[in-house]
Amino acid sequence: MTQPASRPLYLLSFILCLVLLAVALYMEHVMGLEPCPLCIVQRVVFIVLGLISLAAMLHNPTPAASLKRPIASRVYGLLITLTGAFGVAIAGRQVWLQHQPADQLPSCLPSLDYMMDVLPFQEMLRLVFSGTADCAAVTWTFLGLSIAEYTLIAFIGYVVFGLLQLLRQND
């Protein structure tokens, strides 16, 4: 059974990242949904995934005569897997926060711009990644799932895609 070539798969991966980012911007600027710090980090992860996919598509590493798979194709698969796993951790944290009782959540944070101006970088990162009540707010659902739950599913898909690209035997 022949496998599809990697280049179209990476193109599809890149386009999916663009669509997800466009939906996020639509929800923010048209629907008026303000992103929390964890949402912003998830957007950055999608940007990184899109850039890795674009680089892999443009580079299009082909098998060398002496190797079954060139190192570059494995590196792209590994980068997508690791970046997707980071996204799973961030989106998973937000989903976990959304399912906690309101009285157990940390208080809301100031805006990300304010924290970047006032706090040391490490402290700002610690606060952003810990998540707060504003990250636990479910402001939109579709078919019973929140935005964070959909992004978690997307990141899991990217981890699976990265693993499949990493473990491919030939192109």
pLDDT at 80: 93
Phi, psi of 2, deg, nearest 5: -85, 145
- The contacts of residue 128 (CB under 8 Å, 6+ apart) are 37, 38, 41, 109, 112, 115
Q: What is the CATH number of the domain that holds 89?
A: 1.20.1550.10
pLDDT digits (tens, 9 = 90+) for 62-72: 554 445 557 77
Is residue 118 a part of any domain in this protein? yes
Is residue 37 a part of any domain in this protein? yes
Q: Is the pTM of this model over 0.85?
A: no
Number of domains comprising the chain: 1
Is residue 31 a part of any domain in this protein? yes
